[in-house]
Amino acid sequence: MITREELREYLHPVYDLERLISRVVYHTANPRDLIAFKTSLQMLPAIQTLMQDFSSELLCELNQQLDTLDDICGLIGQAIEDDPPISVREGGMIRTGFHPEIDRLRSAKTEGKSWLAKIEEEEREKTGIKNLRIKYNKVFGYYLEVTNSYKDLVPDYYTRKQTLTNAERYITPELKELEETILGAEDRLTALEYDLFCEVRNQIAEQAVRIQTTAKSVAAIDVFASFAAVAEQNGYTRPKINEKGLLKIKNGRHPVVERMMNNDMFIANDTFLDSKDNRISIITGPNMAGKSTYMRQNALIVLMAQIGSFVPAESANVGIVDRIFTRVGASDDLASGQSTFMVEMNEVANILKNATSSSLLILDEIGRRTSTIDGLSIAWAVVEYISNPKLLGAKTLFATHYHELTELEGKLSNVKNYCIAVREKGDDIVFLRKIIPGGADRSYGIQVAKLAGLPDTVIERAKIICEELESANLSNITRRLDVGALIDIKARKQPDEVDMAQISLFDTVKDDDIIRELSEIDLTHITPFDALNRLYELQNKIKNRW
Q: What integer pLDDT is reported at residue 497 of this predicted model?
A: 42
Q: How far apart are CA 254 and CA 456, in angstroms?
A: 35
Q: What is the pLDDT of residues 421-448, one digit of tens each?
A: 888 776 677 778 899 999 876 777 887 7
3-class secondary-structure state, position 116: helix
Query: 3-state DSSP call for residue 520?
Result: helix
Mean pLDDT of 255-279: 89
What is the pLDDT, as a whole number, of residue 232?
94
Higher pLDDT, 91 or 45: 45
What is the per-residue pLDDT for 505? 37
Contact 289, 267 (CB under 8 A): no
User: Is residue 29's pLDDT more than 90?
Assistant: yes
Sheet hosting strand 240-242, strand order edge to edge: 240-242, 315-319, 247-252, 269-273
DSSP type of residue 345 = H
- Sequence-distant (6+) residues with CB within 8 A of 367 are 374, 375, 376, 377, 378, 379, 382, 402
Bridge partner list, 80: 94
DSSP state of 55: -
d(CA 446, CA 214): 59
Report which residue type is found at 156: D
**What is the reported pLDDT for 486?**
56
Spatial CA neighbour of 101 closest among 180, 175, 178, 189: 189
Percentage of residues of the chain with pLDDT beyond 90: 51
The whole-number pLDDT of residue 546 equals: 55
Confidence of residue 513 (pLDDT cuts 50, 70, 90): confident
What is the Cα–Cα distance from 70 to 42, expressed in whole angstroms?
8
Distance CA 365, CA 376 (A): 10
Which of 236-240, 313-317, 537-541 has the lowest average pLDDT?
537-541
The per-residue pLDDT of the chain, averaged, comes to 86
pLDDT reading at 500 higher than 70: no
546 vs 81, residue with greater confidence: 81
**Which range, of 17-21, 58-62, 456-460, 477-481, averages the lowest pLDDT?**
477-481
Q: For residue range 36-76, what is the model confidence (pLDDT) as tens digits?
A: 999 999 999 999 999 999 988 999 999 999 999 999 999 99
Q: For 451-480, what is the mean pLDDT?
A: 73
Residue 207, burial from CB neighbour count under 10 angstroms (0-12, 13-18, 19+):
middle
Whole-number pLDDT of residue 222: 95
Give the type of residue at 377: S
- Give the pLDDT confidence score for residue 472 in this predicted structure: 56
Which residues 6+ apart lie within 8 Å of 118 measured at CB?
Answer: none
Q: How confident is the model at residue 493 (pLDDT cuts 50, 70, 90)?
A: very low
- Global pTM value: 0.70
Element (DSSP H or E) covering residue 115:
helix 100-127
Q: Which of 391, 386, 396, 375 is nearest to 506 (CA)?
A: 375
Closest CA to 159 of 147, 151, 167, 169: 169
Using only C-alpha atoms, the chain has a radius of gyration, in whole angstroms, of 40
CA atoms 292, 342, 407, 245: torsion sign:
negative
- 342-362 pLDDT, tens digit per residue, is 888 999 999 999 999 999 999
Q: What is the pLDDT confidence band of residue 188, given thresholds at 50, 70 and 90?
A: confident
502 pLDDT band, cuts 50/70/90, is very low
Per-residue pLDDT at 89: 86
For the purposes of burial, counting CB atoms within 10 Å of the CB of 214, is it exposed (0-12), middle (13-18) or buried (19 or more)?
buried
Percent of the chain with pLDDT over 70: 90
